[in-house]
A and B are shown apart, each in its own frame.
Chain A
């Protein structure tokens, strides 16, 4: 069965640079979520989109923005990167108020 696809899987950036993470949801899933998981931490919800509109907002920094496109894929844009942004970034998708299925994550390292 198709799963959530995230790219890239690993990303190394320097401080103050910009990064873009991509997420391709499971086919026919209309909702996309973004989470951040720091080392040894539980995942923290950042933002979600339903039918290309922002739905819910969590602890997403103002330096980050995201959008969902007409083909339902989503991109998380991160600017002015800080060392503390080093984390695993997960995308999840769901079909209207059902289970959220997570992608393999993007490991971002900021040096």
Chain B
């Protein structure tokens, strides 16, 4: 079943602005991870937030997690042209073990110079 759903599917903003992407999921999770993917390239791990955490920061990235609403958001501040990419949330279902991640459909972010 489809787990993560991202919103919006596409986002175009001006360089320097902030970009916010949202992700919703359906089942209980151990953690939620955000990845970046440049066109046809590998997935770059950005940040992991555990189910008992509500907010996490890493450089220009801020991630929030609301387990009651089964949703997460990724905020990129002071965007740069190099941030242009697709962003995916991925959930690790509750239960432990080497579970595969369930990815959302992704948000395609375009930063206009």
Contact = CB atoms under 8 A, between A and B. Distances in A.
Q: Are A and B part of the same complex?
A: yes
Contact of B41 (A33, A43, A97, A104): A104
Contacts of A94: 98
Interface of chain A: mostly helix, strand, loop or mixed: strand
A20 to B, nearest CB: 20
Size range of the chain A interface in the assembly: 20 to 34
A87 to B, nearest CB: 11
Contacts, number: 66
A50 B97 contact: yes
A103 B90 CA distance: 16
A90 B41 CA distance: 10
Interface range on chain B (Cβ under 8 Å from partner): 20 to 34
A102 interface: yes
A64 interface: no
B103 A43 contact: yes
B100 interface: yes
Nearest to A107: B40
B101 interface: yes
Given A101-B45, A105-B41, 5 more contacts: A42-B4, A45-B100, A100-B33, A100-B45, A107-B40
